[in-house]
Amino acid sequence: MNLSVIGSQFWSLLLQGLALGLIYALISLGYTMVYGVLRLINFANSEVFMLGTFTTLYMQTKVFGFALTTPTIHGAKLIFVLISSLLASMLVCAVLAMLVEVVAYRRLRAKGASRLASLISAIGVSIVLLEAMGIVTGGRPKTAPRLLEKWSFGEIAGANFRIDTVLTIVAPVVIFIILERFVTKSRLGKSIRAVSMSEENSKLMGININKVITATFCIGGLTTGAAAFLYTTVYENTVFNVGFNIGIAAFTAAVLGGIGNLRGAFYGGIALGLVEQFASALIGSQWKSITVFLVLVIILLFKPSGLFGEAVQQTRT
């Protein structure tokens, strides 16, 4: 156990764990919302994320013409480029997520197929997207240009408040707050919650289930797209199979927090990010995943529905 690291780097690890965890949280919102309405693990979400990162990359390099050697810009211009990339990524991911719903799930839902069939169908979509991108990129990673200079606001107790770290914390929190208000206050949001609780009753209440489901996928796509933008801008690279590990982490976060539950996804993501950072630092990066899963098992042993999950409803195959 490497305890000396904790002494000097504690706040730094905490800050970074928070930042990483919030990226996970945004993606896990996509998983958890879809699960809420469909009781399905949306396996293809990881590839939606991957395509969001490439969209961001495309915007920055092709549309705005940034190369690796382009001098960095500041001020309003920078903000314009960033916002455009963010919106593009969110848009593409939302559209893609809705397409996934149509291709992988809709027909199966109409036929009353088992959830496993939908799962395999989603896996098929995931494979197709991943392989296609692999062929296009030749398997090589792509680097994003440095738009966000790693300029620091300042350090407190070893924790470096760099602008990208701050962005990765502030943006997801803002998005989450907006989303929560939307889900609790707006009509569509309430419909989504209704369908999550009971599809049967919602139908009886005259809610258009298909519309709600499409909207859910759309929202999940929006948050995933935002996460993709943040990821590309902060880590400055992406590769065709980046979605795989991130997807599993985000899904684990959703389960950890209590799947089907927005708050659960949010805090689950944060928890996961923190566990990953501290486990890596204390025990070693090679044991990171195992620690995460063990933590998950322990939490689920005491709280079978996750940290914030309500009592699990009847889940049929």
Partner 1 sequence: MNKKIVSGLAIAAAATLALGVVATSPASAAAKKTVKLAFEGPLSGAYQGLGKDQIPGVIWALDQYNRTNPAVKIELVKADSQCSGSVAANVAPGVAADKSIIGVVGTSCSGEARNSFPAFKAAGLTMVAPSASAVDLTDPKQKSNGFPYFHRVVANDSFQGPALARYTASGNTSPKYYLIDDQSPYGEPLIKNDVTPTAKKLGTIVGTDSVAQKTSDFTSVVAKVKASGANIVIYGGYDADAAPLFKALRDGGYKGILGGGDGVNTSDFPGLAGSAAEGVRLTAASVPFATLLTAAELADFTKVTGVAVPGLYAETAWTATNVFIQCIKGGALTRAAIQNCVTNGTFTAADKTTFKFQRYGDPSTAALVGGWVVKAGKIEYDKVA
Partner 2 sequence: MTMEHKKTFNLRDRGAEVWAGWNRTTRSVFAVLLIGLVALLPFAGNWTPTSFLNTPITSYANVLVYPVGMFALMALGLNIVVGKSGLLDLGYVAFFAIGAYTDAILTTLFNWNTWEALPVGIGLAMVSGVVLGLPALRLRGDYLAIITLGFGEIVRIVALNLHITGGPNGIPGIPNPPKVFGLVFDLEHPQNFFWIVLTLILLVIWMVRRFTVRRPGRAWEAIRQDEDVAALMGVNTLVYKLWSFVIGAAVGGAAGVIYASKIIVISPDMFNFDVSILILACVVFGGIGNIWGVVVGASILAYLPERIRFIADARQLVFGLVLIIMMNLRPDGLLPRKKRENIAEKGGK
Residue 160 CA to residue 10 CA, distance in Å, equals 11
Q: How far is the CB of 122 from partner 1 (least distance, A)?
A: 20
Q: Which of 141, 201, 287, 310 binds partner 2 (CB under 8 A)?
A: 287
Residue 68 or 178: the one with the smaller Cβ distance to partner 1 is 68
Instruction: Kindly indicate which of the ranges 112-120, 189-197, 205-213, 268-276 contains the residues binding partner 2, using the contact rule CB under 8 A.
Output: 112-120
Instruction: Kindly indicate which of the ranges 193-201, 209-217, 264-272, 281-289 contains the residues binding partner 1, using the contact rule CB under 8 A.
Output: 281-289
Binding of residue 249 to partner 2 (CB under 8 A) = no
Q: How far is the CB of 151 from partner 1 (least distance, A)?
A: 11
Q: Which of 6, 68, 135, 174 binds partner 2 (CB under 8 A)?
A: 135
Reference 21, options 257, 241, 243, 222; nearest CA is 257
Binding of residue 35 to partner 2 (CB under 8 A) = yes
The separation between CA 265 and the C-alpha centre of its own chain, rounded to angstroms, equals 9
125 binds, among partner 2, partner 1, none (CB under 5 to 8 A by kind): partner 2
Helices 262-282 + 3-38 axis angle, to 10: 150
DSSP-derived 3-state class of residue 43: coil
Helices 209-235 + 3-38 axis angle, to 10: 160
The separation between CA 253 and the C-alpha centre of its own chain, rounded to angstroms, equals 10
12 binds, among partner 1, partner 2, none (CB under 5 to 8 A by kind): partner 1
Residue 132 or 205: the one with the smaller Cβ distance to partner 2 is 132
Count of H-run helices and E-run strands, the chain? 12, 4
Q: Which of 1, 67, 76, 301 binds partner 2 (CB under 8 A)?
A: 301
Q: Is the dihedral of CA 46, 47, 52, 57 positive or negative?
A: positive
Reference 192, options 299, 80, 38, 317; nearest CA is 38
Q: How far is the CB of 4 from partner 1 (least distance, A)?
A: 6
213 phi-psi bin (left φ>0, alpha ψ -120 to 50, beta other) = alpha
32 neighbors 224 (Cβ within 8 angstroms): no
Q: How far is the CB of 174 from partner 2 (least distance, A)?
A: 28
- The residues binding partner 1 (CB under 8 A) are 2, 4-5, 7-9, 12-13, 16-17, 20, 68-69, 131, 134, 138-141, 143, 146, 150, 160, 162, 231, 235-237, 239, 241-242, 244-246, 276-278, 280-281, 284-286
